[in-house]
Amino acid sequence: MSNSHIIEATKTFVKNTLKNAEGGHDWFHIERVYNNAMLISKNENVDSFIVSLAALLHDIADSKFHNGDDTIGPKLAREFLSEQNVSSDVIEHVVNIIAHMSFSKSLEDTLAFTSIELEVVQDADRIDAIGAIGIARCFNYGGFKNRTLYNPDIKPNLNMSKDEYKASTAPTINHFYEKLLLLKDKMNTKTGKKIAEERHRYMEGFLKQFYSEWQGEK
């Protein structure tokens, strides 16, 4: 099977697997990340086949929806790619990207794996977590988890461990400070950094307006 056929089969597999997913982690999220990854790849020396597969499969089983288990996604990706007769070296690379690209992984002291393909897919995923789309996804997930919008008495925790981050039930606004506003400075690629700058400014404007409305218009 050609690479293009494998990519199309992967799209179909992901669409079917995520058809009932939470709105911020559904097929449309995957499609945006895939498109972002393809855009970033134009300016990077990468294996576009590996980038494509990793972008499409990166949230096939997000640990947030599997009791924090971050081994299920890589396992499902490996099984699917093996069924498509993808070469073992490509499978290993894609699975490693999926296993190491999350924000919570970045809270660990050491990263066991890195590659330019990982950096591209990671940037593509983080871009979708910020800006107008990021704000919409953030509040959609907060509603999904029945979280408070904002509580001035609960301050953001800026020094969380990976386990604390994954277990957090803080108000949705806190997530901006605990993750979203930090992503701009965690971008790996030149294209990712440029896109993130604009989306970061948009979030800052949103927060300014949010606090103004919360306190009552003067």
Radius of gyration of the chain (CA): 18
Instruction: Output the six-digit token pair for 64.
Output: 């947030």
What is the DSSP secondary structure assignment for residue 61, as one 8-state letter? T
In this predicted structure, what is the pLDDT of residue 64?
66
Q: Which pLDDT score is estimated for 15? A: 95
In whole angstroms, what is the distance from residue 24 CA to residue 122 CA? 16
Using one digit for the tens of pLDDT, what is the confidence trace for 147-198? 999 999 999 998 888 778 778 889 999 999 999 999 999 999 999 999 999 9
Which tops the pLDDT comparison, 166 or 2?
2
> pLDDT tens digit string along 9-59?
999 999 999 998 888 889 999 999 999 999 999 999 999 999 999 999 999
Classify domain 3-215 at the CATH topology level.
Answer: Hypothetical protein af1432 (1.10.3210)
- The Cα–Cα gap between 210 and 97 comes to 36
Stated pTM of the model: 0.90
23 and 140 Cβ atoms separated by less than 8 Å: yes
Q: What is the pLDDT of residues 143-161, one digit of tens each?
A: 998 999 999 999 999 888 8
Mean pLDDT taken over the chain: 91
Domain positions in the chain: 3-215
C-alpha angle 185-188-190 in degrees, rounded to nearest 5: 95
Vertex 128 angle, CA 65 and 82, to 5°: 55
Among residues 55, 50, 167, the alpha carbon closest in space to that of 104 is found at 167
